[in-house]
Amino acid sequence: MRTAAITWILSVALLPQITWAAGEPILFIFDASGSMSEPFHGVSKMAAARLMLSEQVGRLPIGTRVGLVAYGNGIAGCESYRLYSPIARSSTGSIPDVVRKLKPSGETPIAGTLRQAGKVVLAKETGARIVLISDGKESCQGDPATEAALLRSKGVSVFVIGLGVDAITASELERIAGSGGGRYFNVQSNTDFVYAIEQSTQAPVAGPGRKGEWEDPDSRIASIEQRDQKTKPEPILPETAVAGKDGLLLKTHRMSKTDDGRIRLEVDYAFKWAPQADYLISLRVERTFPGGSVPIAVGPETHYRSENGSGTIVIELDPAQVSADSLFIQGELWDIQQVPVRACQSNALRVK
């Protein structure tokens, strides 16, 4: 099965790339909510979506202007939408690396994401299209179909790819695409996904008969040989940009017990980022394992209207969640003046 998966991936990657530029900008909206951790043909929905989005972005016509917004990703609440890659030609190279680092955790604010994307990201674009990849329906009391209709009135079309959804959810997602003047694709298999993402981006269709098993190139799942070994592979911390003069630095942490037996984790931080703006600092605690990591707790968000600052953020954990060998803290600095844009990511601080 593994050999078949690798063969299929290589066959897709080696198909000839189109060499002319496309005029229509494309904004991908990627669902990184908690339900994306559910299984889909042997891997998680997140793994399947990462693979196909990354592959298709790499096969878009050279010069295509693309961008990426995602919601969820371990950010609590119904305003978790973030701009991870602005609409630009250069984003075709950065989007695969960005989606590789997204974590499935959080709500599904489709309406709010469409509204903010239209107000800011696509405010000066004409003839743009949105491609929403989601496995669930709105969970934040919004009306995505109404937002899609407003976008359509401004010349923005909305295409929707429903990934492994039930009939009720499929009907709601199809209504969004209909209101947005695009198409809905109900994906229940690997082949469906190939066809849907190619059609929704107007890339040349290689045909819906392409077959193969899903393989997430970034999952680091242990091979048969590794599983047979007696020694357990070491967990892998995520790649991070260590803060220097500019950036977000996690300095130290302290652990103690609360009166009700919970674990109190205090994290000291400092940041410096120019120019002065409206900044937000978000911390999350993640558990590592040989195949990657998953978020288990998110700290309260802290706001600054300056180019530097420092302080302490407190996160409470259940005792059962704490393991000195597998927990680390990660921070992000966001510019939230308009649509939140991630300015930088902190160093990874292991919990000891």
Backbone angles phi, psi at 60, to 5 degrees: -65, 155
Residue 126 lies in a domain: yes
Percent of the chain with pLDDT over 90: 31
Q: Which residues face 281 on adjacent strands?
A: 302, 333
Q: Are residues 173 and 295 in the same domain?
A: no
- Are residues 189 and 264 both part of a single domain? no
Confidence at residue 241, expressed as pLDDT on a 0 to 100 scale: 40
Shared domain check, 34 and 96: yes
176 and 53 in a common domain: yes
Q: With respect to residue 110, please indicate whether it lies within any of the assigned structural domains.
A: yes
pLDDT at 324: 54
| Structural domain containing residue 343 | 247-350
Specify if 224 maps to a domain. no
Exposed e or buried b per residue across 268-296, where buried means at least 16 C-beta atoms within 10 angstroms of its C-beta:
ebebbbeeebebbbbbbbbbbeebbbebb
> At what angle are helices 167-179 and 144-153 packed, to 10 degrees?
20
Asked whether residue 196 falls in the same domain as residue 287, the answer is: no
**Pairing status of strand 82-88 against strand 66-72:** antiparallel
CA angle 108, 112, 113 (to 5 degrees): 75
Q: What is the pLDDT of residues 276-285, one digit of tens each?
A: 778 888 888 8
Q: Please report, for the domain that includes residue 252, its CATH number.
A: 2.60.40.10
Q: Tell which of 166, 185, 200 closes a domain.
A: 200
142/58 same-domain check? yes
What's the number of CA atoms in the CB half-sphere (13 Å) around residue 276?
2
From CA 19, how far away is CA 124, in angstroms rounded? 26
One domain, residues 173 and 253 = no
pLDDT at 4: 43
Which two tokens mark 171? 């009907």
Residue 233 lies in a domain: no
- Please indicate, yes or no, if residue 241 is contained in any of the structural domains: no
The pLDDT score that the predictor gives to residue 245 is: 61
User: In this structure, are 8 and 111 located in the same domain?
Assistant: yes
**Hey, what amino acid is at 269?**
Y
State the total domains in the chain.
Answer: 2
Residue 58 and residue 64: Cα distance in Å, rounded?
10
Examine the fold and report which residue of 166, 200, 234 is the final residue of a domain before the chain moves on.
Answer: 200
216 within domain boundaries? no
335 by DSSP, 3-state: which?
Answer: strand
Same domain, 193 and 301: no
Examine the fold and report which residue of 185, 200, 215 is the final residue of a domain before the chain moves on. 200
What are phi and psi for residue 149, nearest 5 degrees?
A: -65, -40
Residues 254 and 109 in one domain: no
Is residue 230 one of the residues assigned to a domain?
A: no
- What pLDDT digit, counting tens, does each position of 25-36 carry? 999 999 999 999
- What is the Cα Rg of the chain in Å? 21
Phi and psi of 24, rounded to 5°?
-90, 115
Q: Whose CA is closest to 38, among 28, 29, 49?
A: 49
Instruction: Read off the CATH number of the domain in which 82 is found.
Output: 3.40.50.410
Q: How many CA atoms lie within 13 A of 157 on its CB side?
A: 14
For residues 192 and 113, state if they share a domain: yes
Q: Is residue 93 part of a domain?
A: yes
For residue 278, the model assigns a pLDDT of: 82
Q: Are strands 341-345 and 327-335 parallel, antiparallel or unpaired?
A: antiparallel
Q: Which residues of the chain have pLDDT under 50?
A: 1-22, 203-244
Output the 3-class SS for 86-130: EEECCHHHHHHHHHHCCCCCCCCCHHHHHHHHHHHHCCCCCCCEE
